[in-house]
Structure 1
Amino acid sequence: MYKTHRGHESMHVEMILIFLCALVIAQVVLVQWRQRHGRSYNLVTLLQMWVVPLYFTIKLYWWRFLSLWGMFSVTTSYILFRATRKPLSGGTPRLVYKWFLLIYKLSYAFGVVGYLAIMFTMCGLNLFFKIKARDSMDFGIVSLFYGLYYGVMGRDCAEICSDCMASTIGFYSVSGMPTRSLSDNICAVCGQQIIVELDEEGLIENTYQLSCHHVFHEFCIRGWCIVGKKQTCPYCKEKVDLKRMINNPWERTHILYGQILDWLRYLVAWQPVVIGIVQGINYSLGLE
């Protein structure tokens, strides 16, 4: 390989400079796009997240991922269909948040297991259980990939469903005042009546009050903030302190995990595009 590329040092330097410049410009463009037109940015990113892995799985014959991708796509498409219906069924918000909360927890579990398996192998502990390093590393990488990928997909789809359902119910609008007034015993996320009092212990779930004094079903507001990536009150848009909402220190890792998923979205959706642009520039300049 060294003999083949001998004498091409200047060309390699040019290719590296082109890659770095494209990377910086792409970062600036994507940040500006996200800040100015966040809705279109999220939709395009979600579409790429959905399509790009499908291309590689079909090309490389990864049938296991393709089958899981198909089941996830069919179920999520049905959930999206239910969330965008008008009028909205009374049980739809809970169905939506239960599904995406399940996806979120499964992806979190797979991500943790995959990370531990990789560290397990790097420390050589697989030898104590007579497991080949290649097998344990492959298991860790695959588990980590499944967890991170479906975690990103689930959170993006949950955000779309949250906006659609809340705007349909009428207590929330993306860039305006609520179209309906909120009663004291109504949850602004699902639009259903709140039965359990604030200081009362419920059988299924409790009632939670934000710092703005608006009251919600605990399950609904957790789904709205943690799964749906919202950090404002569904009614008045006051800032929500997620650390105050999650008292259990073990659950606070979900916030960090959500931030990791947001960062990973760029790598899966936009990094292949940047690399494709760099290769096109190199090919046009005769550097390939």
Structure 2
Amino acid sequence: VEHLVLHEKHRGHESMHMEMFFILIATLVVAQILLVQWRKYYFQSYQTATLLGMWIVPVFLCLKLSWHRFLYVWSVFSVITGLMTYWATRKPLAGTTPRRVYTWFLLCYKMSYALGIAGYLVMMGALFGLSILFMVKPNVAMDFGLVLLFYGLYFGVVARDFAEVCSDKMASHIGYYTKTGMPTRKLDEGVCAVCGQPIVRQDEDEDGVSNGAEKVVVLNCAHS
């Protein structure tokens, strides 16, 4: 009887459900088109909005769901990244700032890459039953792999966007690069375009021992 009453109550809702489905599909298509156009014509505001959204929105979700582990990792990442961003936006730019910023975001890239690969391998191992060899239940291994994969993707994307912002700011402050107009400085030979300090090339003696200077990387465009 209750089953018949339930069917009678929801009679005629099939058409409404179909309309909701089409509305959802149309909304997704229109939203995607608007996002593409926004990124194409107003990239600066698009980058800022998406970066702030990816950086802040997960925090509210984790606070609501009491995922404290992510909040701890996010807090450490945010403090260090915020400090790097602060240094990169200062005028005048300190000569050691580019090295610090590059080192931090390179570390973030390597760690994110490693976490993503590790998460993928753990998930594949759980799917093929290899986790049982390590006395780990497949569902536990799958959850662990998803967490690693999420951490790698999330912090990798956020760190990449912050790195782009910092690199643009530093290049603009140094004076060799500007988005509009002509650069205010000319790059001399033997001067680092990143920090503005003289380049001391790394030489090796006959025994293969370095002289202590840093290694100079030459790009395809012949800049070093």
Tell me how far apart the structure 1 counterparts of residues 220 and 144 of structure 2 sit (CA, whole Å): 42
Deviation at 1:177, TM superposition (A): 2.5
Deviation at 1:197, TM superposition (A): 7.2
Q: Is residue 202–residue 215 contact of structure 2 (8 Å, CA) maintained in 1?
A: no
1:205 aligns with 2:215: yes
1:186 aligns with 2:191: yes
C-alpha spacing 1:5/1:179, structure 2 compared with 1 (3 Å): farther
Q: Which residue among 9, 15, 29 is the counterpart of 1:10?
A: 15
Deviation at 1:194, TM superposition (A): 1.7
Tell me how far apart the structure 2 counterparts of residues 5 and 171 of structure 1 sit (CA, whole Å): 68
Provide the residue aligned with 1:97 in structure 2: 102
Q: Is residue 90–residue 192 contact of structure 1 (8 Å, CA) maintained in 2?
A: yes
Greater CA drift, 136-145 or 6-15 = 6-15
Q: Is residue 119–residue 146 contact of structure 2 (8 Å, CA) maintained in 1?
A: yes
Q: Aligned AA for 2:177? A: Y
Q: What are the residue-to-residue correspondences of 1:107-186 with 2, within 5 Å?
A: 107-186=112-191
Tell me how far apart the structure 1 counterparts of residues 78 and 171 of structure 2 sit (CA, whole Å): 23
Deviation at 1:5, TM superposition (A): 6.4
C-alpha spacing 1:64/1:179, structure 2 compared with 1 (3 Å): same
Q: Percentage identity across aligned positions?
A: 51
Q: Is residue 197–residue 207 contact of structure 1 (8 Å, CA) maintained in 2?
A: no
Tell me how far apart the structure 2 counterparts of residues 5 and 110 of structure 1 sit (CA, whole Å): 47
Tell me how far apart the structure 2 counterparts of residues 50 and 209 of structure 1 sit (CA, whole Å): 33
Q: Which residue among 78, 81, 84 is the counterpart of 1:79?
A: 84
Deviation at 1:193, TM superposition (A): 1.7
Q: Aligned AA for 1:135? A: V
Q: What are the residue-to-residue correspondences of 1:49-60 with 2, within 5 Å?
A: 49-60=54-65
Deviation at 1:174, TM superposition (A): 1.9
1:64 aligns with 2:74: no
Q: Aligned AA for 1:91? A: T
Question: Which has more radius of gyration?
Answer: 2
Deviation at 1:196, TM superposition (A): 1.6
Structure 2 unaligned regions, length at least 5: none
C-alpha spacing 1:24/1:63, structure 2 compared with 1 (3 Å): same
C-alpha spacing 1:5/1:196, structure 2 compared with 1 (3 Å): farther
Q: Is residue 166–residue 190 contact of structure 1 (8 Å, CA) maintained in 2?
A: no
Q: Is residue 163–residue 174 contact of structure 1 (8 Å, CA) maintained in 2?
A: no
Deviation at 1:129, TM superposition (A): 2.0
Q: What are the residue-to-residue correspondences of 1:20-31 with 2, within 5 Å?
A: 20-31=25-36
Provide the residue aligned with 2:93 in structure 1: 88
Higher relative contact order (CA 8 A, sep 6+): 1
1:40 aligns with 2:30: no
Tell me how far apart the structure 2 counterparts of residues 209 and 81 of structure 1 sit (CA, whole Å): 28
Tell me how far apart the structure 1 counterparts of residues 181 and 124 of structure 2 sit (CA, whole Å): 48
Tell me how far apart the structure 2 counterparts of residues 145 and 25 of structure 1 sit (CA, whole Å): 27
Tell me how far apart the structure 1 counterparts of residues 12 and 136 of structure 2 sit (CA, whole Å): 44
Question: For residues 72-93 of structure 1, what are the alpha-carbon distances to aligned partners after superposition, in whole Å with 9 as ceiling and x for unaligned?
Answer: 1111111111111100100000
Question: For residues 146-200 of structure 1, what are the alpha-carbon distances to aligned partners after superposition, in whole Å with 9 as ceiling and x for unaligned?
Answer: 00000011001011100110000000112332211110111222222222279x9
Q: What's the RMSD between the two structures over aligned residues? A: 2.4
- Number of corresponding residues: 214
Q: Aligned AA for 1:70? A: S
Deviation at 1:11, TM superposition (A): 1.8
